């Protein structure tokens, strides 16, 4: 099937680990989605974990809630880490449910934390 072909392609990309990959809210993507069928990456050798940008951004943004610091949403991290001028200059705005926008914004968050 198309899903199986795509899954096999993704397996090939991830083969050997992912030392330079991350995700925003990785526990959700991998814990609730990608480690289960049809992906099936929870069968021992194929279980995938990666650094979570949202977790790291928590201690950069330091947005308080009644439990301490909250996990910042992508737009909260962008608004905290980038000045209004930078947000305009880099066109850092989020359109709802647009994977390319999410990837671009999350890459900017990662680069800002590295900087």
Mean pLDDT of 70-84: 95
Residues 6 or more apart in contact with residue 14 via CB below 8 angstroms: 48
Q: Please return the burial class of 17, using the count of CB atoms within 10 Å of its CB with bins 0-12, 13-18 and 19+.
A: exposed
Using one digit for the tens of pLDDT, what is the confidence trace for 14-57? 665 555 677 888 877 777 766 666 666 555 555 566 788 999 99
Confidence of residue 111 (pLDDT cuts 50, 70, 90): very high
Identify whether the C-beta of residue 12 lies closer than 8 Å to the C-beta of residue 46: no
26 vs 74, more confident: 74
**Domain-by-domain residue ranges, the chain?**
1-51, 53-114
Residues 6 or more apart in contact with residue 55 via CB below 8 angstroms: 26, 71
* Cα atoms in the 13 Å half-sphere on the side-chain side of 78: 23
- 93's enclosing H/E stretch is none
For 13, 61, 74, 89, 110, the CA distances from 18, given in Å and listed in that order, are: 9, 26, 22, 31, 16
């Amino acid at each position: 099937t198309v899903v199986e072909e795509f899954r096999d392609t993704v397996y090939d990309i991830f083969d050997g680990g992912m030392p330079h990959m991350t995700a925003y809210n990785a526990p959700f993507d991998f814990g609730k989605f990608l480690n289960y069928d049809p992906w099936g990456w929870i069968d021992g050798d194929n279980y995938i974990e990666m650094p979570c940008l949202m977790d790291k951004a928590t201690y950069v943004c330091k947005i308080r809630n009644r439990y301490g610091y909250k996990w910042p949403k992508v737009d909260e991290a962008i608004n905290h880490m980038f000045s209004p001028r930078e947000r305009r200059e880099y066109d850092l705005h989020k359109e709802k449910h647009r994977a390319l926008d999410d990837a671009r914004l999350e890459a900017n968050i990662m680069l800002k934390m590295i900087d």
